[in-house]
Amino acid sequence: MEAVIQEETSGCGIAASAALAGVPYPDAKRMANSLGIHAEDKALWSDTRHVRTLLSAFQISTSPVETSFESWESLPDTALLAIKWRLEEDRAFWHWVVFIRRDGDACVLDSRKSLKSHVRQDFWRMKPKWYIEVFN
């Protein structure tokens, strides 16, 4: 699995879905747009419904619930993480990233364009609020 870079400021959900589906960002964006999901819609990063719909279109199953983050060790092998969680005018917003663990090695795929490396292991810097398990 490889990181996919978001092309719009609020395209992190589309980029995370693209990484999980193994497709380029433009392909995921086309699929999202065909489902009525647009990066310009702030609901993309304040509602889980859109990312779940997009992942379902890629035939990727997720847990039906969000689980509070406890520790990096307790995460499932693949998960969507909500980091940079905050309230703006009583509405929750976050940044979507993908957590993966393979053969004991863990990393976070972060789509934010300005990062030097999109494969992150600086776990102490990230403050996940909750996650959605992704089934392989």
CA separation for the pair 10, 134 (Å, rounded)? 21
- The first and second tokens of residue 127, run together, are 């403050």
Q: What is the pLDDT of residues 76-119, one digit of tens each?
A: 999 999 999 888 888 888 999 999 999 989 999 999 998 899 99
Structural domain contains residue 51: yes
Q: What is the pLDDT of residues 59-78, one digit of tens each?
A: 999 999 999 999 999 999 99
Structural domain contains residue 87: yes
CA separation for the pair 64, 135 (Å, rounded)? 11
pTM (global) more than 0.85: yes
CA separation for the pair 1, 124 (Å, rounded)? 22
Structural domain contains residue 74: yes
Q: Which domain holds residue 16?
A: 12-135
Please count the structural domains in the chain.
1
